[in-house]
Amino acid sequence: MGLFRTVVSLAVHNGKVGLRNNGKVSLRPLLSCAPVAMVCSDRGAHSQDITKNIQYITNDKVKITTDPKTMKFDKQLNRPTCIMINWLLARQKHVMKYANLYLEQGFDVVSVSCTPWQLMWPLKGSQLVADDLIKLMAANENDQPMVVHGFSVGGYLWGEVCAHVMKDRDRYQPILDRIAAQVWDSAADITEITIGVPAAVFPKNKIMQKTLRAYMEYHLKTFHDAATSHYIRSSQLFHTNLCRAPALFLLSASDPVGAERSNRSVYDSWVKMGIKCTWQCWDRSPHVQHFTKHRDEYVALLRTHLRDNVQLGKQERAQRAQATV
């Protein structure tokens, strides 16, 4: 009858994924999209790779060489720094919109990315990224303030950073105590991981979202020791954040990934620990698009947060550090 029947299924084999069409499988690396390397912005900012997952963005044309073992820069720029932990598969032009908010205020930006593959296999992926990040922060310490601005899965990666700090509190806790402010935009918890990752990988394909979500649910059940237990640990550490800097929460009630319920849980936990928190939950705006939908209000909230908290004196930072002991 000349019928054409196409069966689409997710084929997983040795870390690869593909489409099965009439029995033939075309494989490509599973969720292995590399972070986008940022070169420069339309405002003249310059960026260079520090690692495959970390880029340094600055207003100046400067070449930085990094020791791969210690993550020490060969130049000390001595500027305020924003540690920007991006959402999955963030595009350069979108990341630069946020980076420019800091560049125009005299900050340099350390942009951190995590691929879906690295997220799904923490021991060989996200934990190595977190290790590089905390080493970089420790090796390039200066007298200038530091801010952490995380998006979506950035909350998970920060939990992994906290896990590294727990292994060597004497070395790394003073680095977290130097952070003057933190911002969390659409932070996603483990309960939303099966929603967020498929939406990031296949933003316009509902069928593949559903298929990948089914695989991820299988992944969480099957690889508990290799993956799920680390997500749970990271979530616990994010809720009991080792960083006590004032925090700004930016989210929306309509976002199923950076869900209001899970963010409220983190907010309540931090407030109980004595962390100064500011809460902004819009009625409707998509995941990590609050800046696009509410630009003026977003910028005003961010600038107020930085103005009120970044110019901390040494005595106040010392008092906050004492509170973490």
Kindly state whether residues 296 and 181 are assigned to the same domain.
Answer: yes
Asked if residues 246 and 270 have their Cβ atoms less than 8 Å apart, the reply is: no
- What is the model's pLDDT at position 27? 33
Q: Compute the distance between CA of residue 112 and CA of residue 158 in angstroms, rounded to an integer.
A: 11
* Confidence bin at 298 (pLDDT 50/70/90): very high
Q: How confident is the model at residue 324 (pLDDT cuts 50, 70, 90)?
A: low
- pLDDT exceeding 70 applies to what percent of the chain? 82
- Say yes or no: 36 and 101 in one domain: yes
Q: What is the reported pLDDT for 319? A: 55
Q: Judge whether residue 173 has pLDDT over 50.
A: yes
CB 80 within 8 A of CB 144: yes
Same domain? 150 vs 222: yes
Whether 11 and 108 share a structural domain:
no
CA dihedral 107, 112, 113, 114 (to 10 degrees): -150
Q: How many domains does the chain have?
A: 2
Q: Is the pLDDT of residue 261 over 70?
A: yes
3-state secondary structure of 79: coil
Q: Containing domain of residue 24, as a range?
A: 1-30
Same domain, 24 and 37: no
3 and 127 share one domain: no
Q: Are residues 159 and 57 in the same domain?
A: yes
Of 204 and 113, the one with more pLDDT: 113
pLDDT bracket for residue 313 (50, 70, 90) = very low
Average pLDDT over every residue of 45-59: 95
Predicted local confidence at residue 286, as pLDDT? 92
On whether both 108 and 172 belong to a single domain, the answer is yes
Q: Are 122 and 115 in contact (CB under 8 A)?
A: no
Indicate the angle between helix axes 169-177 and 314-323, nearest 10 degrees: 130
User: Distance between CA atoms of 140 and 260, rounded to whole angstroms?
Assistant: 35
Stretch among 96-100, 191-195, 210-214, 242-246 having the lowest mean pLDDT: 191-195
Q: What is the mean pLDDT of residues 234-246?
A: 97
Q: Looking at residues 223-236, what average pLDDT do you find? A: 96
Q: Tell me the CATH number at 300.
A: 3.40.50.1820
* Residue 43 in this model has a pLDDT that exceeds 60: no
Are 285 and 169 part of one and the same domain? yes
Closest among 235, 51, 65, 76 to 132, alpha carbons compared: 51
Q: Are residues 191 and 244 in the same domain?
A: yes
Quickly state the pLDDT bin for 322 (edges 50, 70, 90): low
Query: How far from chain centre, in Å, is Cα 134?
Result: 13
What mean pLDDT do residues 48-61 have?
95
Together in a domain, 163 and 98: yes
In this predicted structure, what is the pLDDT of residue 263?
96
Per-residue pLDDT band at 41 (split at 50, 70, 90): very low
Whether residue 129 is found in the same domain as residue 9: no
133 pLDDT band, cuts 50/70/90, is: very high
Q: What is the mean pLDDT of the chain?
A: 85
Question: Residue range 122-132: average pLDDT?
Answer: 97
Task: Give the residue, 312 or 196, on which the prediction is more confident.
Answer: 196
User: What is the Cα–Cα distance from 308 to 299, expressed in whole angstroms?
Assistant: 14
- For the ranges 21-35, 137-151, 262-276, which has the lowest average pLDDT? 21-35
Is 38:55 a contact under the CB 8 Å cutoff? yes
